[in-house]
Amino acid sequence: MKNVSLTQYLVERERAGKIDSSLRLLIESVARACQAIGAQVNRGALAGVLGSAGSRNVQAEEQKKLDVISNDILLEANEWGGSLAALASEEMELPAQIPPGNPRGEYLLLFDPLDGSSNIDVNVSIGTIFSVLRAPRGSGEPNEAAFLQPGRSQLAAGFAVYGPSTVLVLTLGEGAHGFALDRDTGTFVLTNPAIRVPEDTAEFAINMSNMRRWEPPVKRYIDECLAGKDGPRGKDFNMRWIASMVADVYRVLSRGGIFMYPRDAKNKDGRLRLMYEANPMAMVVEQAGGAATDGRQRILDIAPQKLHQRVPVILGSKNEVERVTSYHGS
Ligand code: F6P
C-alpha cells in the first residue's frame, strides 16, 4: 500500500467535510513546528540548546533553553497563518495575540511546547502536546476566558514524541492516528491508523516516590497491582515510568496500560495541566477506545476555571481506569 502522508490525510478529511482548510493549515503548521523542535532536540548539545535558560515560567518552574526555543518555534510557526484568533502556552502567563498586520482566524491553539522537562538534558524522549478549540464568537482579542472550554469542545488534539524516531499522534475526533517522521523526505507518514488501546492491561505507570502522599483509592489500586498473582487481581503487574507524559502515553496507546498522576498531599490539585496536557491526552486516549478521568469525573467534562489549572490524571486501558475511578466512589 502506498504511504499516506499527514498532508494527504488532512486533505482527505477536508474533502470529506470533517475539517475546513483553515484547520487543515493550522495542523500542518503545528506539525512543521514539531518537526523543527524535533530537529533541535536531536542536535542537542551540538546545537548548544541544552541546559537552563536562567528564567522561570508562570508556574515558577525553571525554564530550560529548549522550553523557550520550542515555545518560540510554535509561536512563530502559527501566528501569521490566518487560522488562529490567539494562542496559549504552558510557558506563557497570558494568551498571545495575533501580531498586528496578520489576519485573525477562528481557532484557538493551546500547547505544552516541550513536555517532560526533567528529561531534556538526559537524552530521554520528550515531546509537544497541542489542542485546538474554536474561539467564541465576537470575542475580539480572545482573553483567558475564551480558552476556558471543557475538553469535549476540542476540535483537534495530539502530541509529538521526540524519541528514537519522531512520531505525531493526531485526533480530529474520529479516531486517533499515528504518523512517523521520515527524516529523509521531511514527511509525516501514517504508520498507525486507528490506534486502539486494549481494554485490559497488566502494566501501570505512576511516580512511586509519591506513594506515601497518595489518597486511599490510588494506594489501594497500586497495592493490589503490587500483590500480583497472590493478591485480589490474581495476576502480576509490570511498572514503567518514563517521566515524560508524551512517552508514557505513547506506550499506553501502543500496547495498553494505565498512566496516573493523581492528586497527593504535596500536589493537592494534581501535577499536570488541564488545558495543555490532560485535555488533549484525554481526547486522544478516548478516541483510541481508552478512558481518562481525574478519579471522580471524565477529564473532558471538567469546566476549567483557570488557564494554568492543574488536575489529577488517570488514563489508559478502559477497564483499569474505570476500576481506579470506582475506588474513589467507594
Ligand atoms: O510536565 C509534566 C511532566 O514532565 C510530565 O511529562 C511527566 O509525566 C511528569 O511531569 C513527571 O513528573 P515527576 O518528575 O514527578 O515524575
What's the pLDDT at 56? 84
Mutate to test the pocket of ligand 1, among 272, 273, 309, 315 (most ligand atoms within 8 A of CB): 272
Q: Return the exposure string of 42-56: e unless at least 16 CB atoms fall within 10 Å of the residue's CB, then b.
A: eeeeeeebbeeeeee
Ligand 1: centre distance to CA 21 (Å):
35
What's the pLDDT at 57? 81
Q: Which atom of ligand 1 is nearest to the CA of 207?
A: 16
What's the pLDDT at 58? 78
**CA 24 remoteness from chain centre:** 19
Q: Whose CA is nearest to atom 11 of ligand 1?
A: 243
End-to-end CA distance of the chain: 50
- Triad 319, 303, 170: Cα angle to 5°: 60
Residues of the chain with pLDDT under 70: 1, 139, 330
Local structure of residue 243 (DSSP, 8 states)? S
Ligand 1: centre distance to CA 18 (Å):
34
Ligand 1: centre distance to CA 11 (Å):
35
What's the pLDDT at 139? 61
What's the pLDDT at 330? 66
Tell me the whole-structure pTM to 2 decimals.
Answer: 0.97
* CA–CA separation, 44 and 114 (whole Å): 14
Mutate to test the pocket of ligand 1, among 59, 115, 258, 308 (most ligand atoms within 8 A of CB): 115
Ligand 1: centre distance to CA 137 (Å):
35
Domains and CATH numbers, the chain: 6-192 (3.30.540.10), 203-329 (3.40.190.80)
What's the pLDDT at 1? 57
Rounded percentage of the chain residues whose pLDDT exceeds 70: 99
Q: Which atom of ligand 1 is nearest to the CA of 259?
A: 8
**Three cell numbers at 214?**
497518595
Ligand 1: centre distance to CA 159 (Å):
15
For residues 221, 283, 10, 148, the Cα torsion angle rounded to the nearest 10 degrees is: -150
Ligand 1 pocket by Cβ (under 6 Å): 115-118, 207, 243-245, 261, 272
Q: Whose CA is nearest to atom 16 of ligand 1?
A: 243
Helix residue ranges, H only, the chain = 6-15, 21-43, 65-78, 144-147, 216-227, 245-255, 279-287, 318-329
Ligand 1: centre distance to CA 207 (Å):
9
Ligand 1: centre distance to CA 114 (Å):
11
**Three cell numbers at 22?**
483553515
